[in-house]
Structure 1
């Protein structure tokens, strides 16, 4: 089960995606499908088949967004969070080998196409919750237990 938390930025992006798919992309693809269908034999028509598949993908994503968006709970920054890792935090961590990672802890709907975001549901994020700078913590990975240290914590303040 996915967590229903999302940052305000992520929520706005999902709304924009829905609006773009429904008002721009879908009508555009529908026109192409109609044009391709008017050419005759649909079984041999690559334009028709490809765009019909694309239309199904768009419809599937729109249905998902329409079902998911009302269930999401927007979590805004609060000054109470300062100094500790909570939802929406930018965190930089380091291991004993000197390897560092920097990422933002966000909802599962926000991590796609972003290498610098991790889901609040991930083992790393769960291990980090409520930690402070210089705290050490362990994360269970498929390769075994890994130890990390918190270097910095920051939050994007809402304007």
Structure 2
């Protein structure tokens, strides 16, 4: 089975790596030390530090596995090096307007970096999929939970490189 590439910006990859390193380098060893100390206190069946520590260790190990898989599948793309800046591709900052001329500005980035509240949408989100390849002036119909909306691409920009 082939895995789809996990497109991500250099900053997004650095954030994933930093989280992985923090968990593996400091949180996990400190927790293992606490579990070892708690295990030495006798009866483990009623030892809250031991029981909670083991549960927390499993959570950290799952997170480490997920982060490792995401980093392994990562395809780092620097938006500043986008050769065709006239169309919407990964890393584009796009201004769109609906029928009432209400404008929104979105940046299309990796799914692991998405933060819709800050206008940062994941590459595989419905709005990003609809905008892929669009040029200024293009109309795109997007299915949202509230129904279909048509947006016009007003502006496209990429970070300076």
Q: Could you say whether these structures have the same fold, taking a TM-score greater than 0.5 normalized by the shorter chain as the test?
A: yes
TM-score, normalization by structure 1: 0.84
Distance 1:81 1:28, change over 3 A: farther
**Correspondence for 1:89 among 83, 87, 92:** 92
Alignment of 1:72-83 (within 5 A): 72-77=74-79, 78-83=81-86
Specify the alignment match of 2:9 in structure 1. Answer: 7
Shift of 1:58: 1.0
Residue 126 of structure 1 deviates from its aligned partner by 1.0
Instruction: Provide the alpha-carbon RMSD of the alignment.
Output: 2.3
Q: 1:45 to 1:79 in 2, by over 3 A?
A: same
CA contact (8 A) 1:3 1:121 kept: no
Distance 1:6 1:99 in 2: 29
Q: Does 1:41 align with 2:43?
A: yes
Q: Which runs of 5+ in 2 are unaligned?
A: none
Deviation >4 Å, runs of 4+ = 112-115
Are 1:141 and 2:141 matched, yes or no? Answer: no
Question: Could you tell me how far apart the structure 1 residues matched to 2:105 and 2:48 are?
Answer: 44
Q: Give the number of aligned pairs.
A: 158
